[in-house]
Structure 1
Amino acid sequence: MTKKRKWWLSKKWGFAASVALLPYAVLKTLWANGVVILASVKGIEGLHASMKTIADPVSAFLYAKGIDITAVLALIASTLAVALVQEWGRRIPRWMLLVPAGLGGTFFISISLATFYKLAVGTIRLTDTPEFDPWVLLPVYGGFFIWGIAISMAALSYGIRTGFYTRLDV
């Protein structure tokens, strides 16, 4: 390997992944606290009603306290991304970082691409949920897509830097 780091070995991927889901987490936390942004009052009321009636007990309890479980999961995903680029992350067994990063990245990329495809072919329309602003797709699926790419690249970079993928280290 040359002295100059190759672009796929950059720790920037992990830092990018660590911030990609923060707008989503903020948005979901605001909604859990009744703040109307990128949604209508009716949309937020419907969201709160569904969390009271059909959510699992843990999610319903947290939501009642203003904590959306998916926002918590986004923060955990951000922490995973940071673990791939910080020294303290090397104390964690590599597979415990690489497996969720690889699977999560693949899943989030797939979900985002499927959603964008459905929008492109008209299977779903931006007007299908009038309670939510079409711009909500940007922090949600845009963030999912960016996180998926960035966490996948961060995992690849981490695996190469730590010798997990010895065959790829050229």
Structure 2
Amino acid sequence: MISTTENQTARLTRMRKIWGYGAAAAVSPYLLIKIAWTFGLFMPTSQMGDPSWRTANAVTMVLAAAGILLAMAFCRPWGERLPSWLVVFPVWVGTGLLVPMLLLAPVLGPAAIRRDMGTGSADYWVYEQVFVMLSLVGVGICLPLALAGYAKTRWPESLGGPIDCGDPQGNTRQLQFSLARFVAGGCILLGVIKVFWALGGTLGIDPVMLGDRDLWWRLLSLSTGVWAFAGAWGILVLTSRRGSRRFLLPMAAAWISSGMLFSYNLFNQLSASRPDAPNAPEYPLAQVLTVEAGTVLGVMMGMTLLLVLHDRRRALRGESK
């Protein structure tokens, strides 16, 4: 029995190292490109020399460097001694950004290259785009797998086991369910709007901008809508403990959905502040309301998920009623 446990631990440690080093290697080309752009080298368009672009590239350069450090933390013993908040927040944002993009990359990558080349970007931008996409796909695959091994070691209650583990003393289940119903209602409404727009609906779209609804915009709208529905399902299942026998699937749905809604909508707000940012096809009010709603819903879903995990950990430790 002891030998079997030791073998499982050794196998888990080995897989954490493989995926952690793989994530660090995958994000390295992205980091190098961002460093070059931050210092004004190999920029595909003159617009990227604008201070707002340079600032955005510097921010993403720091995020890429943080991603490498995080990947190393997942596969090294010192990573298990880091404060929880220092790991959880960047992982939440990172998985929210990367997992949905991983599913869209086979279509969005070529579409982005065609769109940028049509606007007069330099020829070497194609090669830079390929490196960027390969980095995002690589880290989108490796980082969540390294995270799974890390979480299984440090927070085993967050991945495995049945969905209902009982209630600890002083639990927050009623608060969780109230928050979950509010969040799920907002996510369903947001999901309906986004899917409606992605499928060609024009309510809330500026008639002058109908021709600007390209494949990129439609796929991102559809992705947001689908993940909003997934998050609504996941958070309701987690708080009601009905709809799934196992904890992992609704946990993953709520985790990725909340991170996606927060990070993508925050990114949209930052992108819209650039002087060369394209105008959104939506009416300004509709665009602001959906972006702000997505950000708030992502944060609220994440907070509800933390309450669920906190009570679950206490219940598994035997602090039941």
Q: TM-score with structure 2 length normalisation?
A: 0.40
Q: Letter of the aligned partner of 2:128 in structure 1? A: V
Distance across 1 between alignment mates of 2:25 and 2:37:
19
Distance 1:144 1:81 in 2: 14
The aligned amino acid for 2:147 is A
Residue 71 of structure 1 is matched in structure 2 by 61
Please tell me whether residue 157 in structure 1 is matched to residue 149 in structure 2: yes
Query: Quick one: distance in 2 between partners of 1:9 and 1:98?
Result: 20
- Aligned equivalent of 2:114, options 127, 136, 146: 127
Q: Read off the aligned partner of 1:47 and give its amino acid letter.
A: M
Q: Which has the higher helix share?
A: 2
Residues 48-63 of structure 1 correspond to what in structure 2 (within 5 A)?
A: 48-49=49-50, 52=51, 54=52, 59=55
Matched, 1:35 2:27: no
Q: How far did 1:93 drift?
A: 3.2
Report the Cα distance in structure 1 between the residues aligned to 2:89 and 2:96, rounded to whole angstroms.
11
> In the alignment, which residue of structure 1 is the partner of 2:79?
89
Structure 1 residues 82, 119: closer, same or farther in 2, change over 3 A? Answer: closer
- For residues 16 and 38 of structure 2, what CA distance do their matches in structure 1 show? 36
Listed one character per residue, the Cα deviations across residues 18-66 of structure 1 (whole Å, up to 9, x for unaligned) are 2221111111211222322xx54xx1x22012xx2x459xx27xx7xxx
Q: Secondary structure at the match of 1:129?
A: helix
Work out whether 1:15 is the aligned partner of 2:21.
yes
Question: Residue 213 of structure 2 aligns with which residue?
Answer: none
Identify which of structures 1 and 2 has the higher relative contact order when contacts are C-alpha pairs closer than 8 Å and 6+ apart: 1
Q: TM-score, normalised by structure 1?
A: 0.70
SS at match of 2:114: coil
Residues 16 and 74, structure 2, Cα contact 8 Å, conserved in 1 = no
Percent of aligned pairs with the same residue?
22
How far apart are the structure 1 equivalents of 2:85 and 2:39? 36
Larger Rg computed on CA atoms? 2
Distance, in Å, in 2 between the alignment partners of 1:151 and 1:85 is: 11
Structure-2 separation of matches of 1:7 and 1:86 = 9
- Paired letter, 1:69: V
Report the CA distance between 1:9 and its aligned residue.
4.1
Cα distance in 1, alignment partners of residues 142 and 21 from structure 2: 8
Instruction: Label 1:75 to 1:145 Cα distance change in 2 as closer, same or farther (>3 A).
Output: same
- What residue identity is the alignment partner of 1:100? P
How many residue pairs get aligned? The number is: 149
Structure 2, unpaired ranges of 5+: 162-321
Alpha carbon RMSD of aligned pairs, Å? 3.0
Other structure's SS at 1:35 match: coil
Q: Deviations over 1:120-159 (max 9, x none)?
A: 7xxx353321214322232212211211221111111011
| In structure 2, C-alpha distance between the alignment counterparts of 1:33 and 1:22, rounded to whole Å | 17
